[in-house]
Each structure stands twice: as C-alpha cells, then as structure tokens.
A and B are shown apart, each in its own frame.
Chain A
C-alpha cells in the first residue's frame, strides 16, 4: 500500500501505483454491497462532511452511502438554505465546519482549485468531488474500476471520449487517469468543444465520430453541459444530437465488445439515444454501483492518513 496523501484533489497528482491501490481496495469493498446488513464498523466515530456548492445527486448520495456503510457519521451541507446564501465565504464556512472536528470534508464547488485551497487551510482530509471544469477524481477512479472489471485489464485499451470535453472535469480526470494506466485516449467532438491544448495531455483528437469510435474498446459519452455554456458553442441541440449523438445505427460500426459509459446525468436523446443508454453495451449503472465502492475506498484510505 503506497497511500500517504492527506487529500484527494486530482488525478493529475496521483501515480499509477496509488490509482491501483484505490482500485484494489474498492474491489474488496464491493462485497459489502451484496450483504444483507450493509455495514462495517471501520470508520466508527469518524465524521464526513459533504460540502456541496453545486447541484449533485449521484456524487453526494454516493459519498453519503459510502460513509454510512463504513459507519462514519455523514453530514450534508448544501449551499442553498445555508450561511453561504447569507454571504459567508467558502473559507469561512469551511473553517467553521472544521471547528466542529470533521475527519473528511468532501467538496464540490464551481471554482477550479477550491478544494485545493481548502486542503491547504484545513487540517482534515479534503476530497475533491468536482471543481469547475478542472477535475473530478473519484469519477475517473470509478470509470477505471468499471473498465478494469469488464475488460480484465486497463493497459493498452483504446478509449474515446465524445462530446463536450471543454467543459468537462470528468474528461480531464479521465484523461489523466487513463494515460497513467497505459491507455490510449482519443477525444472527439465539435471543434468549439475541444480545447486547443488537448494534445498536451497526450490524447488524439478527432472531429469525426465514426472514425473516433471505430476501434474503441470504451466509448465515454459526455453530457452537454448547458449550465456552463455561455452561448454559441453549438448551432442547436438537434444538430448536435444528429452529428455527435450515439445511436444504435452508429454503434454498428463499433467493436462487438465495446463498452458505452456516461458519467451522468444523461441527456436522453441528445448525446445518447435511449436504446443505447439502456442497451447491452451500456455499463452506466455499473459505474454508479462502482462509485460507492470507490468512495468507500477513498474514505478508508484518507481517514487513516495522518491528517485525519
């Protein structure tokens, strides 16, 4: 076990060995979900605070379940209906929460770097649960776990990430994680949604969907992030869907053992047709199941670090 970190802030920071440790630990955690009594006493007496400044269902619930299955006390704090609405700064809120002695703070914030800032200022462990368009490390870890589980290995696999790469913290974390695990990553989407600096991360860029997915072992469809788009990135939803949406018809050109993934929430009929989202290639719900296991692993590893 090589885990020594106080915080989990980004996939960019992690080394391949650390990623492997989290995945191995998560794999062991999966058994707990199959039990009649889904609880182990490991984090008894530890407190996990979910500090969410952005909307979230999956990630917050996933961290909450993960903490509770490990017997930690989990407290949810969301920006709406809290002192944040009264104008309290992020750091002030966090300092106040720290004064109540939590062991782990899980942060989601619209500003890139917000979790890193908290990590520098708080004694407790900090987990980045998504910061702006920067990173979402636990999502990348659950994606890697799902792929490893389905394919038996990671090294040498071809992954194609399709869609709104520019606004996607998931894409950024996935790219860092997948490259470190020896995978080949291609990003595909309209030029307005593919950052020019993409190639610096070691990925191939394609502007044609058929070409990009033809040899893929895994296709990661991204959500079109309306809420982060100011204007003018795509002509219309309908056109985007026609050119970049994954339909049964397009799937015919893919490998017969391709995995279709999506970090959720799915815009049905935009990036994914319902037949594909619910079809046999889709592992979208396995991703969600693995999300709990990965978060249990992360909480377990961090709660044992010296910071906690």
Chain B
C-alpha cells in the first residue's frame, strides 16, 4: 500500500532554516556556559547533518568546535516485530567518550518521541553523560511518550495524516521544510514508517530517525 504525498505548505525556506540552527547553537552555548564538555550526537541520517551544521555555528561563536557523533537507533527500535522486513542497520559512530559530558541529541523532526526513546537507550549503552539535551529542527506534536525537546527550530502544529519532510542540501540538494498530505482524499496514512516518524517516503529513505 503506497500512498503518495503532495506538498501542502512550505514551513521553512533556506534562510529561515539557517536562522533556526543559528538560534539553537546560541541557546546550546548559553545554557552550557561554553562548549568545553559539549558533544553533539545526531540521529542518522539527517540529524547527523544538522548536528554538524550546529557544531560549525558553535565554532563560529565560541572559536571551538564541539565533537559530533552519529547514532543509529535501528537496533533499539520498539517496532522491529511490526515490520515486514528488517530495517537497514547503518552503524553508530561516536568516537569519543560521552561519560560526564553534556550530550545534545539532534534530530530533524520530533513526532511520537519513540525515536528519541530508542536514542536515549542507545546513548546510555555508550556511557553515562552528565546531562542529555534534545535539539530538533521541527516539533510537530503528537507525542506518545513523555519526551520534551530543549531546543526547537520550529513548532509546527500538524494533523496526524500529514507528514513533515526535512530536505537538506547534503542529501536532497536544497534546504527546506515542507508539510505534505496524502494526495487521495480520505486515504489513511500507512502505519509503520510514515506514522512512526511523520516524514515523507522521500525523506524516509535517507533517515530511519
């Protein structure tokens, strides 16, 4: 059952997306009181790209670039049994100790919170950070778990049947965030990937987050 999505509205353009990341970078530095023990850990795939961009912005502010890691949460998902075939394992790369540090988890879209739940478990298995904070480019609501982001690029009220696509230059050739809706009237959103993550099938290819 494949549902096609069409664009309903653009939420962020290139410069708005950039400004949102700049603000998040400032907020991270302000709250941490520096960058010395800050590490950014992005959730694959687009969370990693966003983490790298935020790190570059922090470097521009503070003159020092925080470490950036990549987390693959596939092995920690709670829906492995529900899928027809196993999702691709892409590997975690966090080549620095996170023990005692301020770790900022970075993801593109916060939806049900299940990805973040898995990411927290994955992170804890790598060590014991002093504090974990959460930065997301878009918070679209509909939480199923008690999870709350610390840094938000854009609060975006959505309906459940819509999806939010984050397109990034590095993966999609452009920077923009759009809301999409199913193109057939009244067609239900497919269970699984799309409802889990609230992203378009297009964005989903590159991102298990």
Binding site for B on A (CB under 8 A): 1, 3-4, 24-25, 27-31, 35-37, 39-42, 70, 297, 300-301, 303-306
Contact = CB atoms under 8 A, between A and B. Distances in A.
Contacts of A70: 75
Interface residues on B, range: 20 to 34
A304 B92 contact: no
Contacts of B125: 35, 37, 39-40
B86 interface: yes
A1 B92 contact: no
Interface in B40-99: 72, 75-76, 80-81, 83-93
B86 A41 contact: no
Interface of B: 72, 75-76, 80-81, 83-93, 121-122, 125-127
A8 B155 CA distance: 47
B91 A35 contact: no
Contacts of A306: 84
User: Interface residues of B: mostly helix, strand, loop or mixed?
Assistant: loop
A1 B86 CA distance: 8
Contacts of A304: 80-81, 83, 85-86
Given A300-B75, A304-B83, A304-B85, 5 more contacts: A31-B93, A41-B76, A301-B86, A304-B86, A305-B86
Contact of A27 (B85, B91, B126): B91
Given A35-B125, A41-B121, A42-B76, A3 B86 contact: yes
Given A1-B86, A304-B83, A31 B76 contact: no
Contacts of A42: 75-76, 80
B204 to A, nearest CB: 13
Pick from B72, B85, B90 the residue with the most CB of A within 10 Å: B85
Contact of A31 (B83, B88, B92): B92
